[in-house]
C-alpha cells in the first residue's frame, strides 16, 4: 500500500501525524510539484486531491479521516478516535469543527488571495475556478470565530475533545498551523488573544508526531 502525498499541504499532514502517533510507516509517494499536483496524478485520479491511500489491489481511500479510521480499525492502539460512545462522539464533533471551521476557513482566505491559486479557488477541480475576493474577509471572520470557539473549549479541557489526546487535536493542530500561512496562527500577533490555544498548541506541537 502507499499514500499519495503533498508534503507541504495541511490535509496530508493530518494523516502524517496520525500515522506517527500510531507508529505506522506507510510509503509516501510525493505528487506535489510546487503549488500543483503532478499532471500524471491528476490524470490517474480525476478527483485530484491528496492524501489518497492506495491498497495493493488498487482500491483507493480518499479523505483524511476515512484513511485514519481505516487504520484505526486495523490498529486500535493507541486509540485516537475514543474508547466508548461518548468519547468517540466528542472526538468526531471537535475533529469536524477543526476541519470545517478551521482548515476550510483558512483555506478560503489562502486560496482566494495567493497568486498561485488565481484560477484554482477550490481544490480538486479540473476546470478553472477564479478567486473570489468576497470570501477573504468572511474567511478571516470564520478563522477568528474558530479560534474563539476552541479557546473556550481549551479553557477547561487539556485537549480539544477532553482530557485525552485524539484525532481532534491532530486536525486542530493542522488547522491552527495553517492559520500561520495567513498570519492568523497561534504564534502570530493574532494568537495573543487566545491564551488557551497557545498553551494547547505548545503541548501538542511538542509531541514527536507534530514533526511528521
Ligand atoms: N476533505 C479532503 C481535503 C483534501 C484537500 O483539500 N487536499 C488539498 C491539499 S491540502 C489538495 O489536494 N489540493 C489540491 C489542489 O489544490 O489542487 C480530505 O480530508 O482529505
Residues 89 and 153 in one domain: yes
Cell of 60: 483507493
Single residue among 14, 39, 74 that ends a domain in this structure: 74
Predicted local confidence at residue 67, as pLDDT: 98
Residue of 29, 103, 123 to test ligand 1 pocket, by largest number of atoms within 8 Å of CB: 123
Whether residue 142 lies inside any domain: the answer is yes
Residues 189 and 130 in one domain: yes
Domain that holds residue 113: 85-211
What are the pLDDT digits (tens) for 23-50? 999 999 999 999 999 999 999 999 999 9
Residue in the block written with cell 482566494: 112
Among protein residues, the one with the nearest Cα to ligand 1's atom 20 is 63
Residues 65 and 95 in one domain: no
Predicted local confidence at residue 79, as pLDDT: 98
Residues 91 and 182 in one domain: yes
Query: What SS3 class is residue 199?
Result: helix
- Which residues does ligand 1 sit against, CB inside 6 Å? 6, 9-11, 37, 48-51, 63-64, 120, 123-124
Determine the atom of ligand 1 nearest the C-alpha atom of 67: 20
What integer is the mean pLDDT of 99-105?
Answer: 98
CA distance 118 to 5: 23
Domain count, the chain: 2
Residues 68 and 92 in one domain: no
Residues 34 and 117 in one domain: no
Among protein residues, the one with the nearest Cα to ligand 1's atom 6 is 123
Residues 104 and 197 in one domain: yes
Residues 66 and 95 in one domain: no
Q: Give a three-class secondary structure readout of 108-131.
A: HHHHCCCHHHCCECCCCCCCCECC
Predicted local confidence at residue 37, as pLDDT: 95
Mean model confidence pLDDT for the chain? 97
Q: How far is the CA of 64 from the centre of ligand 1 (A)?
A: 9
What integer is the mean pLDDT of 71-98?
Answer: 98
Residues 155 and 176 in one domain: yes
Q: Own/partner pairs for 40-47, CB < 8 Å, 24+ apart?
A: 41/4, 42/126, 45/4, 46/126, 47/124
Residues 12 and 93 in one domain: no
pLDDT band at 125 (very low <50, low <70, confident <90, very high): confident
The pLDDT of residue 126 is above 90: no
The pLDDT of residue 211 is above 90: yes
Q: How far is the CA of 58 from the centre of ligand 1 (A)?
A: 20
The closest of 208, 143, 142 to 176, measured between CA atoms, is 143
pLDDT band at 175 (very low <50, low <70, confident <90, very high): very high
Residue 52 phi, psi (nearest 5): -140, 125
Amino acid at each position: 500500500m502507499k499514500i499519495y502525498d503533498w508534503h507541504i499541504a495541511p490535509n496530508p499532514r493530518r494523516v502524517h501525524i496520525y500515522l506517527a502517533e500510531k507508529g505506522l510507516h506507510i510509503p509516501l509517494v510525493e505528487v506535489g510539484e510546487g503549488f500543483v499536483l503532478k499532471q500524471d496524478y491528476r490524470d490517474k485520479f480525476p478527483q485530484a486531491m491528496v492524501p489518497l491511500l492506495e491498497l495493493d489491489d488498487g482500491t483507493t481511500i480518499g479523505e483524511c479521516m476515512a484513511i485514519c479510521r481505516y487504520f484505526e480499525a486495523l490498529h486500535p492502539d493507541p486509540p485516537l478516535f475514543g474508547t466508548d460512545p461518548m468519547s468517540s462522539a466528542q472526538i468526531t464533533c471537535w475533529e469536524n469543527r477543526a476541519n470545517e471551521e478551521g482548515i476550510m476557513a483558512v483555506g478560503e482566505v489562502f486560496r482566494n488571495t495567493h497568486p498561485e491559486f488565481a484560477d484554482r479557488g477550490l481544490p480538486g477541480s479540473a476546470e478553472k475556478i477564479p478567486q473570489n475576493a468576497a470570501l477573504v474577509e468572511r474567511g478571516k471572520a470564520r478563522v477568528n470565530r474558530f479560534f474563539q470557539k476552541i479557546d473556550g473549549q481549551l479553557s477547561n479541557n487539556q485537549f480539544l475533545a477532553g482530557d485525552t489526546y485524539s484525532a481532534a487535536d491532530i486536525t486542530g493542530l493542522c488547522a491552527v498551523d495553517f492559520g500561520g500561512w495567513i498570519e492568523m496562527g497561534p504564534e502570530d500577533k493574532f494568537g495573543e488573544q487566545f491564551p488557551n490555544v497557545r498553551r494547547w498548541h505548545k503541548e501538542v506541537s511538542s509531541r514527536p508526531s507534530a514533526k511528521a
